[in-house]
Chains A and B, each alone.
Chain A
Amino acid sequence: MRAKRLLNRIGLWFAVLMIVSPAVLFFVWMLSLSLKYEVDNAAYPPILIPENFAWANYAAVLESNRFGTYFLNSVLVTGSATLLGLLVGVPAGYGMARMKATKSAVVVLIARMTPGLSYLIPLFLLFQWLGLMGTLLPQIIIHLVITVPIIIWIMIGYFETTPLELEEAAVIDGASRWQVFRHVALPIAKPGITVAFILAVIFSWNNFVFGIVLAGRETRTLPVAVYNMISFEQLSWGPLAAGALLVTLPVLLLTVLAQRQIVAGLTAGAVKGG
């Protein structure tokens, strides 16, 4: 019996190892690629840990390619789209949950199903007519397509679970709808807002397709910029891997730090926009 339990334990750890290793090994290899000079990256058999670390790869990315500009672009686009998304999405989630308007939530669901490219053609033309191309505004606006549905979806789910008694008591006390929302519902909903915020930031940050169409040379976000490195760097692997790692590093850090919130948000059924 004891031996059997031990065997089960070993089997379980073997399974865990099998499941987790593709993810871990990939990021380890990504790190390795980014820290090797061309000689080491072209070596056969491949080298995992080089004798000399090529920190120059990171220096090259950070100095050239206007990394700072593109980083700022990413922060502005994701930041604005997320804050605007929260501004309209949190009250909407509250309203829909309290009206029990789950049917109107279907619109949100369809928005999530719609292929991102089908928004792009008409909005691309619209932005051209309005003369907005060349600014960050088109990208901020179109990133709302990602952030607003995620936020509304999570907030509906969250407000449905918060207790009504407190709000009813406040209404009896003569509070207006807005006061109830602002002083009773909103403070309770903080954990939900955090989840919505984190997921909106991640999916907006990661978005690529909106950028390749709407971004010009000055308005690229990081995912677009790193993709364009392919031609600039003549497929030199070290700097390319370093660039890729830098682009995704903020998101990876957020994932590890806020994994509990992320897991909660994703299992609530709100997944990937755009």
Chain B
Amino acid sequence: MTPSLALEKPAAAAPPASRRRAGGSLWPFVLPALIVVASVIVFPWGFTIWMSLNEWQIGGGSSFVGLANYGRLLTDLRFHDALWHTLYFTALAVILPVVLGLFSAIVFHQNFKARGFLRALFVMPMMATPVAIALVWAMMFHPQLGVLNYLLSLVGIPPQLWVFHPSTVIPSLVLVETWQWTPLVMLIVLGGLAAIPTEPYESALIDGASGWQMFWHITLPLVLPFVMVAAIIRSIDAIKSFDIIYAITQGGPGTASETVNLYLYSVAFAYYDIGYGSAIAVVFFLMVIGLAVLLLWLKKRVQWTEVGIGA
């Protein structure tokens, strides 16, 4: 289309009501993506549900067994352990990055030299390739040769076994996850801080409020919805965490750090038990969605109470 060609047409032809219709349907724009989404996303969902109703081994045949695979989950102690590990890991891997991310966002909201560059450095852990990061963390966790125990010795703390002991493995992995994902929380909250209007602060200053009071009564309530959004995204990512755990411990020592996602991987791709693996995948998917819905509901409530206080 050239502008000159278009100008030759009488401009008054299209009445406002039909303006949106004019020029044709929008569906052709969406259709290709729809086909891709249907084939690589929706089809797998449906097929996974079907497989979960079958006894299905790779290389072997398959037979319909109804809900037997789901029944098996109820008595599978390794699955129950994996549930606890997931819960423990997810709780820590949400709380720590959210708290530290909120703090970092407040710091990065200030004005100081080279802020953009420092922010880029700060964001690097979350953009770096997780497996590559995990390999280096594994070296740092090494009880004899690792740099972390040396750093602890500098401040007089005895050496730890980190990922090599069942009781410290999950907190150690959370340390990596926190290091990696605090920047994401920071970025989201930073966006929220930037959106806060200046008027409340101005009137608070006139009323003689201290910096701490302003933070507690103005900044925190206004930024809370963004903190919630960050917490939701963090929860969904933490519960699905795979690369870091797999590359550092493979779920070990023993099964001490085996989360549901890692167990799912083992069942499906180490034991090739596709039917049972699919059942775990379905349950896991429901867990993720359930968590997301719960947090969205919480977020709504938080905003409601805000409105309540404001009124």
Residues of A within 8 A of B (CB): 12-13, 15-16, 19-20, 22-24, 26-27, 29-30, 33, 41-42, 44-46, 84, 87-89, 91-92, 94-96, 98-99, 101, 104, 107-108, 110-126, 141-142, 144-145, 148, 152, 168, 170-183, 202, 205-206, 208-209, 212-213, 222-224, 226-227, 230, 237, 240-241, 243-245, 247-248, 251-252, 254-256, 259-260, 262-263, 266-267, 269, 271-272
28 A-B pairs with CB atoms under 8 Å apart are: A12-B107, A12-B110, A19-B108, A23-B179, A29-B136, A33-B139, A44-B144, A88-B33, A95-B26, A101-B30, A115-B264, A120-B268, A122-B47, A122-B278, A173-B9, A175-B1, A178-B28, A227-B131, A247-B129, A252-B128, A256-B124, A259-B119, A260-B116, A262-B123, A263-B123, A263-B187, A271-B233, A272-B184
CB distance from B8 to the nearest CB of A (A): 9
A212 to B134, CA, bound (A): 15
Residue of A16, A108, A141, A251 with most partner-chain B CB within 10 A: A16
Check B51 for interface membership: any CB of A closer than 8 A: yes
- Residues of chain A lying within 8 A (CB to CB) of residue B121: 20, 23-24, 256
A247 contact from B41, B132, B277, Cβ within 8 A: B132
Q: B289–A113 contact, CB under 8 A? A: yes
Nearest CB of B to A182, in Å: 8
Contacting residue for B237 out of A94, A178, A230, A272, CB 8 A: A272
Cβ of B158 under 8 Å from chain A: no
Query: Does B274 lie within 8 Å of A121, measured CB to CB?
Result: yes
Residue of B nearest to A101 (CB): B30
The CA-CA distance from A125 to B41 in the complex, in Å, is 14
Check if A16 sits within 8 Å of B242, measured CB to CB.
no
A114 touches B14 (CB 8 A): no
Q: A114-B41, A118-B44, A266-B187 are in contact. Are A208 and B120 (CB under 8 A)?
A: no
The 7 closest A-B pairs by CB, nearest first: A95-B29, A92-B33, A173-B6, A244-B132, A259-B120, A122-B47, A95-B30
B140 CB within 8 Å of chain A: yes
Evaluate contact between A92 and B23: CB separation under 8 angstroms.
Answer: no
| Least distance between A94 CB and chain B CB atoms (Å) | 6
Q: Pick the interface stretch among B69-77, B215-223, B280-288.
A: B280-288
A84: chain B residues within 8 A (beta carbon): 36
When each residue 131-156 of chain B gets 1 if its CB lies under 8 Å from chain A and 0 otherwise, what string results? 11101100110001101001000000
Asked if A33 contacts B44 (CB within 8 A), the reply is no
Flag if B242 contacts A44 (CB, 8 Å).
no
Given contacts A92-B34, A121-B51, contact A180 B135 (CB under 8 A): no
Is the CB–CB distance between B6 and A213 below 8 Å? no
Which residue among B19, B28, B107, B233 has the maximum number of chain A CB atoms within 10 Å of its CB?
B107
Contact B7 A118 (CB under 8 A): no
Contact A117 B261, beta carbon cutoff 8 Å = yes
Given A26-B179, A168-B19, CB of A244 within 8 Å of CB of B135: yes
Asked if residues A251 and B128 are in contact (CB atoms below 8 Å), the reply is yes
Other-chain residue from B1, B268, B289 in contact with A183 (beta carbon distance below 8 A): B1
Is the contact region of chain B dominated by helix, strand, or loop, or is it mixed?
helix
The interface on chain B, measured as residues whose beta carbon lies within 8 A of the other chain's beta carbons, has a size of: 94
Q: What's the nearest-Cβ distance from chain B to residue A46, in Å?
A: 5
**How far does the alpha carbon of A19 sit from the alpha carbon of B178 in the complex, in Å?**
12
- What sequence of 0s and 1s flags, for each residue 76-116 of chain B, a beta carbon within 8 Å of any chain A beta carbon? 00000000000000000000000000011001101010001
The answer to whether A119 touches B150 (Cβ under 8 A) is: no
Q: Are B122 and A42 in contact (CB under 8 A)?
A: no
With CB as the reference atom, state the residue of chain B lying closest to A143: B40
Residue among B29, B183, B237 making CB contact with A91, cutoff 8 Å: B29
Q: Give chain A nearest CB distance to B128 CB in angstroms.
A: 5
Q: How far in angstroms is the closest Cβ of chain A from B141?
A: 12
Chain B 213-251, CB-CB to A under 8 Å as 1, else 0, gives 000000000000000010001001100101100110000
Q: A16-B112, A263-B187 are in contact. Are A117 and B128 (CB under 8 A)?
A: no
- Known A98-B26, A267-B188; judge A117-B123 contact (CB<8 A): no
Question: Is B40's CB under 8 angstroms from A123's CB?
Answer: yes
Q: B33 touching A226 by the CB < 8 A rule?
A: no
**Partner among A113, A252, A259 whose Cβ is within 8 Å of the Cβ of B288:** A113
Rounded to whole Å, the gap between the CB of A209 and the closest CB of chain B is 5
Contact A148 B191 (CB under 8 A): no
Does B129 lie within 8 Å of A248, measured CB to CB? yes
| Chain A hits for B247, CB < 8 A | 208, 227
Partner of A177, one of B24, B34, B41: B24
Q: Mark B16-59, 1 if CB is under 8 A from A, else 0.
A: 00010011111111101111110011011101100100000010
Instruction: List residues of chain A with CB within 8 A of the CB of B122.
Output: 19-20, 23
List residues of chain B with CB within 8 A of the CB of A13. Answer: 112
Contact of B36 among A27, A88, A259 (CB under 8 A): A88
Chain B residues, CB < 8 A from A202: 127
Given A29-B147, A223-B132: A144 in contact with B36 (beta carbons within 8 A): yes
